[in-house]
Every structure is written in C-alpha cells, then in structure tokens.
Amino acid sequence: MRFYGFAANEILDSTVPFLDDDLDPKTVWALRNLHLFPVEINKAEYRMLLRVPGIGQQSARKIITSRRWGWLGFTELKKLGVVMKRARYFITCQGSFLEKIDNEETIRSCLLRDEGKKQELAYEQLPLNLEAGLVQS
C-alpha cells in the first residue's frame, strides 16, 4: 500500500480493524471515500490516479505521459493497462462515465460479481476424453 501513498490508518482503523476478505484494500478504501470520486482522468494528479482501483503505478505514469499529446478516452485507458472492470466506477474521461453508480453497495456487488465469474473460470474442471488416447490410472 505504500506504493499507492496510503497510510495505515487510511486502510484500517477502530471502525474497520481487519482487511476485507472479498475486495482488495485499495478498492475498499475507494468505496469508503466515494466523495473523492469520480476522478477525471485527463486532469487528476499522479497521486490521486494511484488511489483509483484498477490503476497501478505503471498505468498512472502512462496516463500522465499520454495526456501531453491529447485527451484520453476509455479505449486508450484500456490500451495503457488500466483494469477497467475495477476503474469504471471511479473515473470519468472528458466528463463522461463508463458506468455511473454512486452507491457503495451497488458498486461492491458489481465488483464481487466480476470476481465471482473470475473464480468460476479459474476452477472449472475440464473433461477428459479417455477414448482419445489419454492414459487411464
């Protein structure tokens, strides 16, 4: 979290003493601080870009560099390596939202739904065709 400029008391405090099991700390922080979002990609400073879920150090640097040559849209952000599944709820490009949801619980459920799909795909058992010459044990 130090790479993103967070202090320990921003992530955990007396009201939230443990990390969330379902979402990463950066996303949980963003959900608790929705008043700071959305962030306008074409105007935000580097330190604020780092706090947007789905934008890492490398992507933030690329965004800052790319803005010198023109306005960035959602397509360009994806090409720069921004994880749009997470960032889409917290950013605007030229004042436009990719998906405008300003309710913490709705955003959380959308993010968890996306994570659930990823988990489903990761653990799917592929069928074996034993008649195709695979060795049986």
Element (H, E) at 32: helix 25-32
Domain ranges of the chain: 2-12+23-106
Using pLDDT thresholds of 50, 70 and 90, give the confidence band for residue 123: low
Integer Cα distance of 91 and 39 in angstroms = 5
* Strands 39-40, 91-93: pairing kind: parallel
Closest CA to 81 of 65, 64, 63: 63
Span 12-36, pLDDT tens digits: 877 878 888 899 999 999 999 999 9
Neighbour-count burial of 42, counting CB atoms closer than 10 A to its CB (0-12 exposed, 13-18 middle, 19+ buried):
middle
Name the β-bridge partners of 96.
Answer: 93
